[in-house]
């Protein structure tokens, strides 16, 4: 039986920790949240020499064990609690060769917790370009550890790290410094009060908002003859501790690291001058966005057409080759078209995640955050608000969770409330199908009209979020003042493995997350569309044949009229017609109304719903797009999805709050139902008014 050890991956942000995690675990990883809190938890499995299996936890990035945010608290609480099932047998501190001095602060703190700690010096392939040389044996002796010099880009040092992990018991657990030197009397009295506890653990419990084991600050204060210091005194002692650690680090690096400044090639500062320029920076970002949206359309058209026709074929094949009955109809008219309505968008969603991942991996996304901070400040938002607003293009739920690193409650609340305006990937299927129906395929200056329309929808969503933030900043009377700090990582070529894993993971979570909802809703919708109350539904065949007896219709045309009549008098038809008066001024019929109502579960359900409704009773092998294009407006005549109704529908989805999961997350993050309810009514009301004006003007 192979032994399993717990390995904690720890490091500053932008040190390549995720690359090391991916190199060790590959596809053997899963993402969830820590119990009870919305901080992402990444864990994976890695096989080590001698049959040892490592359970690897990728902890949130932190600069030190002096926590200032919720995700940093996660790191400290795990390292302090030996009873936690994930408590590490060995810690791996990932550092960046160019910022070794800063990274070693965290390393020395973890060493003082007497946990076997391996130091990974990542991005070793950059040493030659930066004129850096390291004396590894000297550094290992001074830091009392083992060092793995790694380059995840060149796949160097991975086996070395695996060997060190399997022999972690050989690594000394002695501390780098003695923290009691900063105030001997205080630390002596602390040690006397708790003789069986590790001194540095006690110090962290006192200074941080965390607990470990059964000991907390209240218990420490209750111990006889021991008084904790004031917050101001503790801050001063923390500063002394940091100074003492840097003195130790500086002494080690004087001999262990040499930097030939003349040899270092500084391309980064030249690129930064252009990419963060007050004028050219925005132009470059705009061009990159245009290129991305054009590529999404151009590259995905062939696989999308193939998927669309394949699902139409499967639906028809099922109907023709399986025995007649309710189950065959459920498969052919409910499940297959419903799933087809989401699978068709996998290529475009995958390309969107691909481009976002490349921008993040290359280091450019941090420049965008810095660039946009200049704009954000004028609208009452923090520069940190840009991260949720940009990540909202993937999904509003993790984007809203990402607001937890915004210190000001006012700025955090405003960011939470406006983030759902940014176009998430769930809106993408709605946008793509409607744009393909109403916008011609021509080009302007080499850019497709459809790609330009898609980009306009993204920009209008972002602009509405910013304008809403400005209004909320004026309305909400909460005083706050914060400063924006962002670290600019080095530029680097994106690692193919990291990008591929991100695309697979994000696309998979989108498809399976949406797929479960769509499958359930498709079955319910099929039932509601296939059955109905009263004589009109049950006697549909006789009624239609009698009505059209005098007209020379073919059998196929008669069958289509019967299917249409049945659908109109089914449960779903009756429900749709009840809400039709409300949505008719927007240019929609009852079928679109049903799709809008069902998409409150998740926006992407819209296309799957229409695919299911249009498939019930239909015998042709037409694709979803062709069926939607063939729909006729019952009031005005002509195509139902024309320019006026299409633009109205696009704008409605651009602004409406149609995601129950997002509302639930807003409630959890604000700890109140007031804000999500206001969000639902204001956003949906605004969407209705804008869609109404658009249709009435354009029709």
For 565-579, how does the pLDDT look when each residue is reduced to its tens digit (9 = 90+)? 787 788 888 888 888
Mean pLDDT, residues 115-128 taken together: 86
Q: Count Cβ neighbours within 10 Å for each residue of 203-233 and write b for 16 or more, e otherwise.
A: bbbbbbebbbeeeebeebeeeeeeebeeeee
Higher pLDDT, 549 or 18: 18
Instruction: Reply yes or no on whether the pLDDT at 690 is more than 90.
Output: yes
Higher pLDDT, 477 or 108: 108
For residue 111, how many other CB atoms are within 10 A of its CB? 26
- Per DSSP, the three-state class of 407 is coil
The answer to whether 552 and 567 are in contact (CB under 8 A) is no
Instruction: Reply yes or no on whether the pLDDT at 455 is more than 70.
Output: yes
Instruction: Reply yes or no on whether the pLDDT at 487 is more than 50.
Output: yes
CB < 8 Å & 24+ apart, contacts of 229-238: 229/186, 234/206, 234/207, 237/182, 237/183, 237/186, 237/207, 238/66, 238/207
- Diameter of the chain measured on Cα atoms: 106
Q: What is the pLDDT of residue 182?
A: 81
Mean pLDDT, residues 347-355 taken together: 78
- Beta strand 90-96 with 4-11 is parallel
Q: Please state, in angstroms and rounded to a whole number, the distance separating the CA atoms of residues 696 and 311.
A: 36
Higher pLDDT, 611 or 220: 611
> pLDDT tens across 628-662, in order?
777 777 666 678 888 999 999 999 999 998 777 77
Instruction: Reply yes or no on whether the pLDDT at 1 is more than 80.
Output: no
Range from 56-70, 209-223, 294-308, 500-514 carrying the lowest mean pLDDT: 209-223
Instruction: Reply yes or no on whether the pLDDT at 269 is more than 80.
Output: no
CA-wise closest residue to 607 among 283, 237, 346, 274: 346
The 3-class secondary structure across 661-686, one letter per residue, is HHHHHHHHHHCCCHHHHHHHHHHHHH
Token match 């293009």: residue?
A: 393
For residue 624, how many other CB atoms are within 10 A of its CB? 22
**With the CA atoms of 35, 392, 513 and 334 taken in that order, what torsion angle do they form, in degrees rounded to the nearest 10?**
150
Q: Please state, in angstroms and rounded to a whole number, the distance separating the CA atoms of residues 561 and 559.
A: 5
- Per DSSP, the three-state class of 656 is coil
Q: Please state, in angstroms and rounded to a whole number, the distance separating the CA atoms of residues 360 and 375.
A: 20
Range from 283-287, 506-510, 529-533 carrying the lowest mean pLDDT: 506-510
Instruction: Reply yes or no on whether the pLDDT at 264 is more than 60.
Output: no
Mean pLDDT, residues 106-130 taken together: 87
Mean pLDDT, residues 22-36 taken together: 63
Instruction: Reply yes or no on whether the pLDDT at 31 is more than 90.
Output: no
Q: Please state, in angstroms and rounded to a whole number, the distance separating the CA atoms of residues 545 and 548.
A: 5
Instruction: Reply yes or no on whether the pLDDT at 311 is more than 80.
Output: yes
Q: What is the pLDDT of residue 37?
A: 41
Contacts of 21 (CB under 8 A, 6+ apart): 9, 29, 42, 44, 56, 58
Q: What is the pLDDT of residue 36?
A: 42
The answer to whether 641 and 629 are in contact (CB under 8 A) is yes
The 3-class secondary structure across 35-84, one letter per residue, is CCCCCEEEEEEEECHHHCEEEEEECCCCCCCCCCCHHHHHHHHHHHCCCC
Higher pLDDT, 99 or 688: 688
Q: What is the pLDDT of residue 650?
A: 93
Instruction: Reply yes or no on whether the pLDDT at 301 is more than 80.
Output: no
CA-wise closest residue to 118 among 128, 110, 127, 129: 110
Q: Count Cβ neighbours within 10 Å for each residue of 438-470 and write b for 16 or more, e otherwise.
A: bbeeeeeeeebebbbbbbebbebbbebbbebbe
The answer to whether 251 and 143 are in contact (CB under 8 A) is no
Instruction: Spell out the domain ranges in the chain.
Output: 4-170, 179-245, 280-475, 516-698
The answer to whether 244 and 108 are in contact (CB under 8 A) is no
The fold adopted by the segment(s) 4-170 is Rossmann fold (3.40.50)
Angle, nearest 10°, between helix axes 571-583 and 590-598? 100
CA-wise closest residue to 333 among 610, 628, 594, 612: 612
> pLDDT tens across 411-434, in order?
888 889 999 998 887 787 788 888
Percent of the chain with pLDDT over 90: 13
Q: What is the pLDDT of residue 27?
A: 65
> pLDDT tens across 205-251, in order?
887 765 555 555 555 555 544 566 777 788 888 888 888 899 999 99
Mean pLDDT over the full length of the chain: 80
Structure tokens that stand for 455 in this block: 């980009």
Structure tokens that stand for 576 in this block: 């749709």
Residue 40's pLDDT band (cuts 50, 70, 90)? low
Instruction: Reply yes or no on whether the pLDDT at 38 is more than 70.
Output: no
Residue 310's pLDDT band (cuts 50, 70, 90)? confident
Q: What is the pLDDT of residue 691?
A: 94
- Dihedral sign for Cα atoms in the order 309, 310, 315, 319: positive
Instruction: Reply yes or no on whether the pLDDT at 143 is more than 80.
Output: yes
Structure tokens that stand for 1 in this block: 């039986």
The answer to whether 349 and 428 are in contact (CB under 8 A) is yes
Q: Please state, in angstroms and rounded to a whole number, the distance separating the CA atoms of residues 599 and 355.
A: 27
C-alpha distances (whole Å) from 304 to each of 346, 350, 395, 573 are: 8, 12, 22, 30
Instruction: Reply yes or no on whether the pLDDT at 592 is more than 50.
Output: yes
For the chain, the residue count is 699
Mean pLDDT, residues 144-155 taken together: 87
Radius of gyration (Cα) for the chain, nearest Å? Answer: 30
Mean pLDDT, residues 339-366 taken together: 78
> pLDDT tens across 530-549, in order?
888 878 888 888 887 887 77
């Amino acid at each position: 039986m192979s032994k399993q050890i717990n390995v904690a991956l720890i490091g500053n942000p932008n040190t390549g920790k995720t690359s090391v995690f991916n190199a060790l675990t590959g596809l053997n990883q899963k993402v969830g949240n820590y119990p009870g809190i919305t901080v992402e938890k990444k864990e994976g499995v890695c096989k080590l020499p001698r049959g040892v299996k490592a359970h690897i936890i990728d902890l949130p990035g932190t600069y030190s064990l002096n926590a200032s945010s919720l995700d940093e608290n996660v790191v400290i609480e795990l390292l302090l609690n030996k009873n936690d099932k994930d408590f590490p047998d060995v810690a791996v501190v990932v550092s960046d060769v160019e910022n070794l001095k800063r990274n070693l602060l965290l390393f020395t703190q973890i060493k003082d917790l007497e946990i076997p700690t391996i130091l990974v010096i990542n991005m070793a392939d950059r040493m030659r370009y930066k004129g850096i040389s390291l004396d590894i044996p000297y550094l290992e002796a001074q830091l009392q550890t083992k060092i793995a010099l790694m380059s995840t880009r060149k796949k160097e040092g991975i086996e070395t790290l695996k060997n060190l992990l399997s022999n972690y018991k050989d690594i000394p657990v002695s501390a780098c410094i003695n923290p009691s030197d900063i105030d001997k009397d205080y630390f002596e009295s602390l040690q006397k009060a708790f003789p069986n506890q590790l001194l540095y653990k006690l110090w962290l419990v006192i200074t941080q908002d965390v607990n470990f084991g059964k000991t907390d600050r209240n218990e420490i204060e209750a111990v006889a003859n021991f008084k904790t210091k004031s917050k101001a005194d503790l801050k001063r002692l923390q500063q002394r501790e940091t100074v003492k650690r840097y003195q130790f680090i500086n002494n080690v690096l004087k001999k262990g690291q040499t930097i030939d400044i003349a040899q270092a090639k500084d391309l980064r500062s030249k690129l930064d001058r252009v990419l963060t320029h007050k004028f050219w920076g925005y132009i470059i970002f705009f061009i990159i966005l245009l290129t991305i949206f054009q590529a999404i359309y151009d590259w995905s058209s062939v696989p999308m057409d193939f998927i669309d026709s394949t699902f139409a074929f499967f639906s028809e094949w099922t109907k023709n080759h399986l025995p007649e009955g309710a189950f065959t109809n459920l498969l052919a008219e409910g499940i297959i078209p419903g799933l087809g309505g989401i699978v068709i968008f996998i290529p475009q969603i995958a390309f969107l995640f691909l481009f976002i991942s490349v921008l993040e991996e290359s280091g450019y996304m941090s420049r965008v955050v810095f660039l946009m901070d200049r704009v954000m400040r004028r609208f009452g938002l923090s520069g940190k608000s840009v991260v949720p607003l940009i990540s909202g293009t993937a999904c509003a739920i993790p984007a809203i969770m990402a607001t937890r690193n915004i210190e000001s409650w006012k700025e955090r609340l405003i960011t939470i409330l406006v983030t759902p305006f940014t176009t998430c990937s769930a809106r993408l299927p709605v946008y793509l199908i409607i744009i393909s129906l109403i916008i011609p395929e021509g080009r302007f200056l080499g850019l497709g009209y459809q790609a330009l329309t898609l980009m306009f929808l993204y920009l209008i969503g972002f602009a509405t979020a910013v304008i809403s933030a400005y209004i909320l900043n004026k309305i909400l009377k909460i005083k706050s003042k914060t400063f924006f700090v962002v670290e600019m990582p080095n530029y680097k070529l994106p690692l193919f493995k990291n990008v591929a894993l991100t695309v697979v993971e994000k696309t998979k979570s989108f498809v399976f997350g949406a797929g479960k909802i769509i499958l359930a809703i498709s079955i319910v919708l099929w039932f509601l569309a296939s059955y109905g109350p009263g004589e009109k539904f049950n006697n549909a065949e006789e009624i239609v044949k009698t009505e059209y007896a005098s007209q020379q219709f073919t059998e196929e045309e008669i069958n289509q009229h019967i299917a249409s009549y049945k659908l109109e008098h089914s449960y779903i038809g009756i429900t749709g017609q009840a809400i039709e008066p409300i949505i008719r001024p927007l240019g929609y019929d009852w079928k679109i109304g049903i799709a809008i109502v069902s998409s409150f579960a998740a926006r992407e359900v819209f296309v799957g719903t229409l695919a299911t409704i249009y498939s019930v009773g239909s015998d042709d092998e037409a694709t979803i797009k062709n069926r939607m294009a063939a729909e006729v407006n019952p009031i005005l005549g002509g195509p139902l999805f024309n320019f006026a109704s299409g633009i109205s529908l696009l704008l409605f989805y651009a602004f409406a709050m149609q995601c129950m999961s997002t509302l639930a997350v807003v409630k959890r993050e604000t700890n109140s139902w007031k804000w999500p309810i206001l969000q639902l009514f204001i956003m949906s009301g605004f969407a209705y008014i804008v869609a109404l004006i658009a249709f009435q003007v354009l029709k």
